[in-house]
């Protein structure tokens, strides 16, 4: 009975490994839609893997430890002539014995403490990582451990991280690696092809995973001016280099040569960065957001690929246009009101012959302000909301001066109240004049939005 079992196993392995003429590029169970079609084609063309005699490849069938040794041995050009090995369960009669023996000599594979190799046992994802790490001498990339189910006390730990860092293996969506799972033929083909041919590899280095609203298929991404730019990274940033982030993340207006400095806001375990562009751009303009190689991860890994996002801001239909001169200041106001947003641009120009002192509320506040207001029995009251401009700015009040002929300008996005509102809503622009010691009555201009 034991001989029959061994014979049956031998026949199955022979079906798996025997060349199937004319089927190397066309297994009936591997269509071009299969995820690892290209990798299987690549290995088949090199006669590293072959299919079954019925024309199938069986991509979901488990790979045994003997089959793994055979495929790796063929990939490395090892001598696979049958021979007895030092393992009690791998004699010259076992298919793959020659490749197993040579792989042992190379230090690629090893057996179990009971002096067995267990050639017919499925190879696990942990074992597979060890085989590939040793067979192809993967670069030690000192990667972060992103998997929740592996630890340093595992023999396969460094090999799993090396295989991941070199773009050969990936984990699962639940942040696990599942080291004890069996490897199927389709997956093993992908892993082996990536080890042999770098063009198949993924790029798990320090990278930008996503930027909110970025249309990577479009040459230019169209965004509203109040679009919130959120950059997500796959590894934590180097916290000691955060103060220099503006050297590597900046915006350039089309046609300009000088970058606009950003003060990125970093949060959520140093892997998520808010890119506040609020005071940098105008309506109907084209810009490029650059994220450069100088960024480094917490472990010193440099950014693998820089990112350049070309974007164009929206062009409102400014139906409200009004110029008002008051107290020596001319206010040029344009607005595009809707039920959801009111796009506003205000320019204040000193038309007098004297400097006009004015006050800003903080380091980010230009001094000029616009808001949605309605009249109540207690006087004018601000309503709705405003595009947030809370950046990393000084909270100190600044005393400024508007010289004769000089202008200041603001771009705002105001949000009307979400609930129905009976009273008329209008736009109010305020320039707080005077100094801290001698404050004066603010210059205020109101514009109806109907």
Number of domains the chain is built from? 3
Pairing status of strand 329-337 against strand 320-326: antiparallel
- pLDDT value of residue 333: 96
Cα–Cα distance, 98 to 275 (Å, whole number): 58
- pLDDT value of residue 253: 85
User: Are 216 and 174 part of one and the same domain?
Assistant: no
Q: Find out whether 431 and 381 touch, Cβ atoms under 8 Å.
A: no
pLDDT surpasses 90 at 247: no
Dihedral angle sign, alpha carbons of residues 432, 437, 440, 441: positive
- pLDDT value of residue 393: 61
Read off the tokens for 187. 């997956």
User: Are 247 and 180 part of one and the same domain?
Assistant: no
Buried b (16+ CB within 10 A) or exposed e, 127-156: bbbbbbbbbbebeebebbeebeebeeeeeb
Q: Find out whether 250 and 259 touch, Cβ atoms under 8 Å.
A: yes
Residue predicted with more confidence, 194 or 145:
194
User: Are 105 and 251 part of one and the same domain?
Assistant: no
Out of 24-28, 31-35, 108-112, 233-237, least confident range: 24-28
Using 50, 70 and 90 to split pLDDT, how confident is the model at 408?
very high
User: Are 301 and 219 part of one and the same domain?
Assistant: yes
- pLDDT value of residue 339: 85
pTM score of the predicted model: 0.55
The DSSP code for 291 is: E
The CATH number linked to 331 is 2.60.40.2360
Of the candidates 284, 313, 342, which is a domain's last residue? Answer: 313
Of the candidates 282, 313, 344, which is a domain's last residue? Answer: 313
- Give 101-133 pLDDT, tens digit per residue: 999 999 999 899 999 999 999 999 999 999 999
User: Are 168 and 45 part of one and the same domain?
Assistant: yes
Length of the chain counted residue by residue: 450
Average pLDDT of span 385-401:
73
Read off the tokens for 309. 């996002």
User: Are 189 and 66 part of one and the same domain?
Assistant: yes
Q: Find out whether 52 and 20 touch, Cβ atoms under 8 Å.
A: yes
CA distances to 31, 68, 75, 177, 293 from 23, rounded to whole Å, are 12, 21, 20, 33, 45
The SS3 of residue 287 is strand
∠ CA 279-284-285, nearest 5°, is 65
The SS3 of residue 388 is coil
Q: Find out whether 34 and 86 touch, Cβ atoms under 8 Å.
A: no
- pLDDT value of residue 419: 76
User: Are 226 and 295 part of one and the same domain?
Assistant: yes
- pLDDT value of residue 119: 95
Read off the tokens for 135. 């067979």
pLDDT above 70 as % of the chain:
84
User: Are 147 and 235 part of one and the same domain?
Assistant: no
- pLDDT value of residue 241: 62
∠ CA 416-321-387, nearest 5°, is 30
Average pLDDT of span 258-284:
70
The DSSP code for 18 is: S
For 140, the domain range is: 2-200
Residue predicted with more confidence, 216 or 57:
57
Residue in 378, 370, 387, 368 with CA at minimum distance from that of residue 423: 378
User: Are 290 and 363 part of one and the same domain?
Assistant: no
User: Are 403 and 301 part of one and the same domain?
Assistant: no
| Tokens 């006009």 belong to residue | 356
User: Are 23 and 164 part of one and the same domain?
Assistant: yes
| Tokens 């650059």 belong to residue | 290
- Give 312-340 pLDDT, tens digit per residue: 999 999 999 999 999 999 999 999 998 89
Q: Find out whether 110 and 104 touch, Cβ atoms under 8 Å.
A: yes
Using 50, 70 and 90 to split pLDDT, how confident is the model at 2?
very low
Of the candidates 171, 200, 229, which is a domain's last residue? Answer: 200
pLDDT surpasses 50 at 28: yes
Question: φ and ψ at 388, to 5 degrees?
Answer: -65, 135
Task: Map 307-364 to HEC letters.
Answer: EEEEEEECCCCCCEEEEEEECCEEEEEEEEECCCCEEEEEEEEECCCCCEEEEECCCC
Q: Could you please report the per-residue DSSP string of 212-275? A: TT--TTSSSEEE-TT---EEEESS-B-GGGGGGGGGTEEEEETT--SPEE---EEETTTTEEE-
User: Are 386 and 337 part of one and the same domain?
Assistant: yes
The CATH number linked to 263 is 2.60.40.3710
Residue 231's beta-bridge partner residues? 211, 273
């Amino acid at each position: 009975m034991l001989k029959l079992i061994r014979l049956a196993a031998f026949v199955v392995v022979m079906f798996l490994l025997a060349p199937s003429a004319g089927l190397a590029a066309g297994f009936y169970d591997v269509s071009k839609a299969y995820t690892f079609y290209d990798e299987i084609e690549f290995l088949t063309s090199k006669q590293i893997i072959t299919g079954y005699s019925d024309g199938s490849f069986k991509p979901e069938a488990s790979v045994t430890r003997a089959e793994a040794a055979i495929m790796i041995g063929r990939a490395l050009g090892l001598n696979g002539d049958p021979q007895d090995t030092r393992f009690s369960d791998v004699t010259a009669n076992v298919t793959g014995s020659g490749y197993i023996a040579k792989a042992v000599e190379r230090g690629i594979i090893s057996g179990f403490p009971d002096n067995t190799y267990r050639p017919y046992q499925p190879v696990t994802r942990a074992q597979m990582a060890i085989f590939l790490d040793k067979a192809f001498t993967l670069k030690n990339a000192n990667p972060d451990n992103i998997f929740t189910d592996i630890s340093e006390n595992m023999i396969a730990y460094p090999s799993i991280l090396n295989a991941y860092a070199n773009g050969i293996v990936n984990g699962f969506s639940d942040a696990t690696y599942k080291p004890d799972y069996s490897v199927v033929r389709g997956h093993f083909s992908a892993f082996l092809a990536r080890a042999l041919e770098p063009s198949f590899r993924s790029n798990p280095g320090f990278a930008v995973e996503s930027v909110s609203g970025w249309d990577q298929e479009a040459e230019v991404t169209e965004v509203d001016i109040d679009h919130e730019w959120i950059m997500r990274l796959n590894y934590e940033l180097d916290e000691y280099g955060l103060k220099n982030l503006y050297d590597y993340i900046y915006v350039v207006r089309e046609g300009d040569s000088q970058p606009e400095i950003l003060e990125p806001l970093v949060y959520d375990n140093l892997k998520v960065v808010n890119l506040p562009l609020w005071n940098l751009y105008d309506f109907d303009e084209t810009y490029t957001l650059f994220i450069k190689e100088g960024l480094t991860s917490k472990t010193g890994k440099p950014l693998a690929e820089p990112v350049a996002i070309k974007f164009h801001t929206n062009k409102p239909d400014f139906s409200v246009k009004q110029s008002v001169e008051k107290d020596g200041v001319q206010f040029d106001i344009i607005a595009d009101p809707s039920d959801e947003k009111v796009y506003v641009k205000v320019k204040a120009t000193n038309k007098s012959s004297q400097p006009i002192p004015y006050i800003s509320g903080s380091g980010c506040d230009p001094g000029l302000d616009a808001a949605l207001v309605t009249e109540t029995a207690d006087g004018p009251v601000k309503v709705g909301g405003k595009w947030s401009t809370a950046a990393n700015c000084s909270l100190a009040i600044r005393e400024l001066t508007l010289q004769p002929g000089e202008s200041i300008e603001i771009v705002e996005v105001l949000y009307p109240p979400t609930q129905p509102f009976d009273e008329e809503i209008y736009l109010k622009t305020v320039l707080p004049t005077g100094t801290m010691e001698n404050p004066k009555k603010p210059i205020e201009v109101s514009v109806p939005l109907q």
